Structure 1
């Protein structure tokens, strides 16, 4: 292994699969100079350029809605040991008020997001692919809870997006890559113990195989 090359981890999973919680648990096992995180969500193209469906809804669940060429460029900068700056994407926060993130390269670089396995040039850089999985009924219920609380959506609005945007995108742009992932993590339980244990197990492996080099 080339000690100068960071170890690149790709983490993807459908809406409600638990990516955010897994990452929180996973990152807890490392110091800031051991790992850095780059999120696909921070590369959304401007809202005005997003595709509108036949009923006038913006469809945020399409790979072309992400500036993947910029994501690739920034990832390569981090791999070369450089730092990057990126505005954090948060729902209902416009770009002018977005928090500016300064991301410093580290021995382990994590790239997470819905479509990170779909972009060939980005996927080719991953040393480890992790797929977060959960049954559809469970992911839908998590999505409903999140969008009603955090986004003020009605259940009808959530269901429209789920049926017309979320699930078609999941089946076309994410699920086909599940078989190419080295680790598939099922996250159907409502208790955190399993995810905490799995995140520790993977982090221990990486400390032995990557950071100890």
Structure 2
């Protein structure tokens, strides 16, 4: 891709437990690797693995300052200019997971996802289309518990502490105010993959017209 041939940029953000991961997978499956690429804010956390377990429990990962914002923006800019980005995967301080080296290649469609992508003004202004995923709090919390207890090995006390003190306040301050400016808002309260797949099918059809 040349510097003149800018990608079509889709920003996807959602509350924790909104089903964003499944939405992204379903959406990306509509395209080949040459047509679409994904860059995720979650891979730009400032490392906190030097902290003790108690410090990690209290540390707020749900603040804009927990992200290496400058590098995140630089890598998005690199993709705009047709350069491939190499970035080590972030493994959420799980010692059982060996981080992979991510190779993010430029493509006609660029998906930028993360909690703060609308809050970061320099990134928000690059977006052509904004998608907001949401779910009622009890449903979102149930999904968060399942993910963090099973997939990330956290204990329930830690998960609940972060949910009450970090996750919900951050969502209310840094994401929810941008809901009304988004092009598409998806309320995902049912665990039915067909609901999400219907949305991704429709969006993919429209994008097909753009990339020919």
Query: How far has the Cα of 1:156 moved from its partner?
Result: 2.4
Pairing 1:184–2:185 present = yes
Query: How far has the Cα of 1:93 moved from its partner?
Result: 4.3
For the residues of structure 1 that align with 2:189 and 2:201, how far apart are their CA atoms? 18
For the residues of structure 1 that align with 2:178 and 2:15, how far apart are their CA atoms? 12
2:91 touches 2:98 (CA, 8 Å); kept in 1?
Answer: no
For the residues of structure 2 that align with 1:157 and 1:93, how far apart are their CA atoms? 14
Deviations along 1:129-170, whole A, 9 cap, x unmatched? 000111111000101111111233333222111100000000
SS at 2:131's partner residue?
A: strand
Q: Give the gaps of 5 or more residues in structure 2.
A: none
| Counterpart position of 2:39 | 38
2:94 touches 2:153 (CA, 8 Å); kept in 1?
Answer: no
For the residues of structure 2 that align with 1:80 and 1:10, how far apart are their CA atoms? 18
For the residues of structure 1 that align with 2:137 and 2:57, how far apart are their CA atoms? 26
2:43 touches 2:88 (CA, 8 Å); kept in 1?
Answer: yes
For the residues of structure 2 that align with 1:55 and 1:48, how far apart are their CA atoms? 8
SS at 2:58's partner residue?
A: coil
For the residues of structure 1 that align with 2:71 and 2:183, how far apart are their CA atoms? 26
| Counterpart position of 1:211 | 211
Q: TM-score, normalised by structure 2?
A: 0.91
For the residues of structure 1 that align with 2:50 and 2:40, how far apart are their CA atoms? 20
Q: TM-score, normalised by structure 1?
A: 0.91
Deviations along 1:155-186, whole A, 9 cap, x unmatched? 32221111000000000011001111000111
How many residue pairs end up in the alignment? 208
| Counterpart position of 1:13 | 14
| Counterpart position of 1:156 | 157
Query: How far has the Cα of 1:199 moved from its partner?
Result: 0.4
Query: How far has the Cα of 1:3 moved from its partner?
Result: 7.4
2:118 touches 2:124 (CA, 8 Å); kept in 1?
Answer: yes
RMSD of aligned alpha carbons: 2.3
Deviations along 1:73-120, whole A, 9 cap, x unmatched? 1101101111110011122346x9421011110000000011111100
Deviations along 1:177-206, whole A, 9 cap, x unmatched? 111100011110011111011001001111
For the residues of structure 2 that align with 1:85 and 1:54, how far apart are their CA atoms? 30
- Pairwise mapping of residues 41-190 of structure 1 onto structure 2 (< 5 A)? 41-47=42-48, 57-93=58-94, 97-190=98-191
Distance 1:119 1:107, change over 3 A: same
Q: Give the gaps of 5 or more residues in structure 1.
A: none
